[in-house]
Chain A
Amino acid sequence: NAGVMQNPRHLVRRRGQEARLRCSPMKGHSHVYWYRQLPEEGLKFMVYLQKENIIDESGMPKERFSAEFPKEGPSILRIQQVVRGDSAAYFCASSPRQNSNYGYTFGSGTRLTVV
């Protein structure tokens, strides 16, 4: 029973390139959450998705960032035209229910470095 799988583990992009981060939730989990962890900071909520729907994107930057969770395949967090300030660890979590009261299962994260 694999946990939440994120890939790649490490991603290096030059300024202006695109970054695509993938997340496969645990089996049976249809709710996916993306968080960003900047150096020396806690995790900040970005977006909450259910299959084919964005439920809450209140934490997403207004430009360059987008997320999807298609009917088939992993959830994708896409960052266009990356800048140095996008360098961070991006964590995906999944849960079997909408309510976060039960907590999530987190993946190991993707560490994005923009050079």
Chain B
Amino acid sequence: AQSVTQLDSQVPVFEEAPVELRCNYSSSVSVYLFWYVQYPNQGLQLLLKYLSGSTLVKGINGFEAEFNKSQTSFHLRKPSVHISDTAEYFCAVSVTDKLIFGTGTRLQVFP
């Protein structure tokens, strides 16, 4: 069965520092992977997705993620974070007609 593991429940970081949010998946079939962001009291917004092709995927707000099949990972990165990036980030894998989400990583950016 497909599943998603987000290894860090919280990631504190100072403004303008780089950040990496880790995501590992398990799947016996071809995977399609997503990162969503959830700002406080809001719904989820799609950051980026990997369907096929280049393993480096660029998304909105300066985020990017790299699909690594051998390590079954899809880590999210940003070279320089901003206070406004403070939010909850969810990794997800597509399973036919639905998305399976990880438990989320809370990114806290400090000034």
A residues within 8 Å of B by Cβ? 4, 6, 33, 35, 41-45, 48, 55-56, 59, 91, 93, 98-109, 111
Q: Provide the residues of chain B in CB contact with A6, threshold 8 Å.
A: 43
**Contacts beyond the supplied A43-B90, A56-B98, A99-B94: 16 A-B pairs with Cβ under 8 Å:** A41-B103, A41-B104, A42-B101, A42-B103, A43-B44, A43-B99, A45-B100, A59-B98, A99-B96, A100-B97, A101-B94, A103-B34, A103-B49, A104-B99, A109-B43, A111-B41
Min C-beta distance of A7 to chain B, whole Å:
13
The size of the chain B interface, using a CB distance under 8 A, is: 24
Q: Provide the residues of chain A in CB contact with B51, threshold 8 Å.
A: 101
A106 touches B97 (CB 8 A): no
Q: Output the nearest chain A residue to B88 by Cβ-Cβ distance.
A: A42
Docked CA distance A6–B42 (Å): 11
> Which one of B44, B90, B96, B99 has the greatest number of beta carbons of chain A within 10 Å?
B44
Q: Which 4 A/B pairs are nearest by Cβ-Cβ distance? A: A106-B43, A42-B103, A42-B101, A106-B44
